[in-house]
């Protein structure tokens, strides 16, 4: 089974995965979220698209360091 990595420091997301019985690691991506949000705002991107872009950026950055792992990126904008 592939290694599972949560590319987020969110306690709630970690609790959800643990509650589902998954064995996973947490690796924070250190993506510059402010820059990505500002760029999305500048081009008028919908909120959902912005959250998806943030999640993808986190997952891609962590995936580069852990080839072969299943990396989960997630984000929300309130």
Concerning whether 75 is annotated as a catalytic residue, the answer is: yes
Rounded CA-CA distance 58/74 in Å is: 8
Which residue among the candidates 23, 30, 38, 75 is catalytic per the annotation?
75
What residue has token string 């820059």? 35
| Cα-based distances in Å from 55 to 1, 21, 28 | 23, 22, 12
* Residues designated catalytic: 75
């Amino acid at each position: 089974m592939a290694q599972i990595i949560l590319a987020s420091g969110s306690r709630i997301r970690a609790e959800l995965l643990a509650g589902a019985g998954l064995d996973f690691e947490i690796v924070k991506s250190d993506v510059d979220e402010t820059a990505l949000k500002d760029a999305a705002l500048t081009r008028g991107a919908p909120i959902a698209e912005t959250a998806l872009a943030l999640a993808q950026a986190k997952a891609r950055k962590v995936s580069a360091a852990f080839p072969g792992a299943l990396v989960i990126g997630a984000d929300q904008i309130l």
